[in-house]
Amino acid sequence: MAKLVWLLAFPSLLIATPVCFGQSSRIVFQNGIDSYMGTVDTEIWALAPTTLLESNPNASSDANNDGGESQVLIRFDDILGSTDRSIPLRSHIVSARLLVSAFDQGSTVNLHRMLVPFSKSATWSSLIDGVSADDLEASRQKDSFTFGKIAANTSIVVFDVTDTVQAWVSGQANHGWVFLNTGGNGWDFYSSEFDDIGQRPKLVVEYEAPSTIPIALSTQGIIER
């Protein structure tokens, strides 16, 4: 086993602060629940390149929406921090799921992490001909995707976004996601503007918060272990 050697220039007390994690907690981010209003979502459409669609109660991801592609952007702001209603930085993310209520199953849709910021007033033109999953505007690797048919007893579609949320709490910027349809059959779901709060998009995160416990290793000299 390799040794870890510490050489101290002056006699002192060396303190190690290993990161430990506590019990897991669960938090839900959904507009209208527990005073949260941080969801930013909008549709952008090639055939209406300068039209603002952020107030629509539903959104469509479609590679051929009446002859022009439409994409959907979504982000959950103010989810990281030190309050009771946020995820502490450097937490261990046990699981993170993005849930949306779909009403048209359409073609398979891939969910990609956004790498550049967008505003609620984003349009097809302001994002320069929409978003490309090219590792510049959005990650080439998809976080998750839709599959199968919408069940008769539920319209909830679940996307596993654990890796992305872990990246955010570890220091990377939160720019949300983009839904990109792989075909010309539109996939539609209710947005954060929908009247029924229960059918608005929500981000459900289970995490273990970090804690540090200082441990004195030595008072001086060379330490080996």
Tell me, what's the pLDDT at 1? 38
Q: What is the pTM of this model?
A: 0.84
Please answer whether residues 120 and 96 qualify as being in contact, where contact means their C-beta atoms are separated by less than 8 angstroms. no
- Of the candidates 144, 173, 176, the one whose C-alpha atom is nearest the C-alpha of residue 161 is 144
Per-residue confidence band for 19, with pLDDT thresholds at 50, 70 and 90: low
Please answer whether residues 42 and 224 qualify as being in contact, where contact means their C-beta atoms are separated by less than 8 angstroms. no
Q: Is residue 3 part of a domain?
A: no
Report pLDDT digits (tens) over 55-93: 999 999 999 999 999 999 999 999 999 998 999 999 999
- For the ranges 7-21, 33-47, 137-151, 203-217, the maximum mean pLDDT occurs at 33-47
Q: What is the spatial distance between Cα 62 and Cα 101, in angstroms, rounded to a whole number?
A: 16
Per-residue burial over 31-41, b = 16 or more CB atoms within 10 Å of its CB, e = otherwise: bbeeebebbbb
Tell me, what's the pLDDT at 225? 40
Q: Is residue 127 part of a domain?
A: yes
Q: Is residue 6 part of a domain?
A: no
Tell me, what's the pLDDT at 218? 43
Q: Is residue 12 part of a domain?
A: no
- Of the candidates 77, 59, 88, 69, the one whose C-alpha atom is nearest the C-alpha of residue 200 is 59
Please answer whether residues 73 and 162 qualify as being in contact, where contact means their C-beta atoms are separated by less than 8 angstroms. no
- At residue 191, φ and ψ (nearest 5 deg) are -95, -175
Tell me, what's the pLDDT at 9? 43
Q: Is residue 101 part of a domain?
A: yes
Report pLDDT digits (tens) over 97-149: 999 999 988 899 999 999 999 999 999 999 999 999 999 999 999 999 997 66
Q: What is the spatial distance between Cα 91 and Cα 77, in angstroms, rounded to a whole number?
A: 17
The per-residue pLDDT of the chain, averaged, comes to 87
Tell me, what's the pLDDT at 4? 39
Q: Which residues contact 3 (CB under 8 A, 6 or more apart)?
A: 224, 225
Tell me, what's the pLDDT at 203? 98
Q: Is residue 32 part of a domain?
A: yes
SS3 78: coil
Q: Is residue 152 part of a domain?
A: yes
Q: Is residue 220 part of a domain?
A: no
- At residue 163, φ and ψ (nearest 5 deg) are -65, -40
Q: What is the spatial distance between Cα 190 and Cα 201, in angstroms, rounded to a whole number?
A: 7
User: Which domain covers residue 74, as residue numbers?
Assistant: 21-212
- Of the candidates 209, 180, 211, the one whose C-alpha atom is nearest the C-alpha of residue 83 is 209
Q: What's the number of domains the chain is made of?
A: 1
Please answer whether residues 189 and 98 qualify as being in contact, where contact means their C-beta atoms are separated by less than 8 angstroms. no
Q: What is the spatial distance between Cα 67 and Cα 197, in angstroms, rounded to a whole number?
A: 32
Tell me, what's the pLDDT at 93? 98
